[in-house]
Amino acid sequence: MPKIVIAGNWKMYKTQSEAKAFFSEFPAHLKATASQAAIADQQILICVPYTNLAILQTLVPSLGQNNLSIGAQNVHWAENGAFTGEISAPMLVELGIKYVIIGHSERRQFFGETDETVNKRLKSAQAHGLTPILCVGESKQQRDANETESWIFSQLAADLVDVDQNNLIIAYEPIWAIGTGDTCEATEANRVIGLIRSKLSNRDITIQYGGSVKSDNIDEIMAQPEINGVLVGGASLDPAGFARIVNYR
Ligand code: PEP
């Protein structure tokens, strides 16, 4: 069974003091919403802005929550160099970071990420022992034109060249569902994720759904057999709401 990974993506939200305030509340909310049926080996991950990585790596071990990790939202493919504004895998590894989002649709849409750069970032992350979360997904236009499958398959084919499928998480994030409140039907997300899995050489990969996940739709999403977790944007910013998502049952 693929491991369940419930991840937050804070995007460009929270200063250091706001991040510390989140974690001063989050453990209590986790305890308050914990249920008998909680899954033993579930991983909780929060991918934060670079400026919060070091401080949270110091703070999180003191919270007594062994299954909680801090992750990054991108990584460059070079070890170092003249790449102003970028962060390398060794920089993340030295902080003890283990997970990094790569190829988020906001990076592809607003910052010119291509399948080629996504592939380079994936390979560099893995070469340094990081576990990437590769984001794929179609636009509304592509969905309406019945191009969902062909688009996602082309993303996977290009992004996964020479990528190790034994150290990888995939997030299916339909672009039209991100930050819109317009969640993809759980059964439809399950169908697409099943198709993604059918294209992989390692069928045991954790595949998440992302796109307007909230505390009131998490139960239905996680009830789907192909879905092994979620990548949560807006709803991961609130400690009570995200704790309810983590403890979805
Ligand atoms: C995301 O940022 O990956 C995301 C899915 O955002 P939201 O949950 O806000 O739709």
What is residue 2's DSSP assignment? P
Question: 99-120 pLDDT, tens per residue?
Answer: 999 999 999 999 999 999 999 9
Residue whose Cα lies nearest atom 3 of ligand 1: it is: 233
207: its two tokens = 């595949």
Q: Could you confirm whether 173 is annotated as catalytic?
A: yes
238 alpha carbon to ligand 1 midpoint, in Å? 13
What is the number of the ligand 1 atom nearest to the C-alpha of 177? 10
| pLDDT single digits (tens) 149-195 | 999 999 999 999 999 999 999 999 999 999 998 889 999 999 999 99
Which residue, by CA, sits nearest to atom 4 of ligand 1?
233
When the candidates are 3.30.428.10, 3.40.50.2300, 3.40.50.2000, 3.20.20.70, the CATH number that belongs to 5-246 is 3.20.20.70
Q: What would the pLDDT profile of 46-66 be if each residue is shown by its tens digit? A: 999 999 999 999 999 999 888
pTM of this structure: 0.96
DSSP 222: H
234 is in an annotated binding site: yes
ipTM > 0.85 for the complex: yes
Residue spans per domain, the chain: 5-246
- In the DSSP assignment, the letter for residue 29 is H
230 touches ligand 1 (CB under 6 Å): no
How many whole angstroms separate alpha carbon 64 and alpha carbon 81?
Answer: 37
Other CB atoms within 10 Å distance of the CB of residue 205? 19
State in Å: Cα 104 to ligand 1 middle.
10
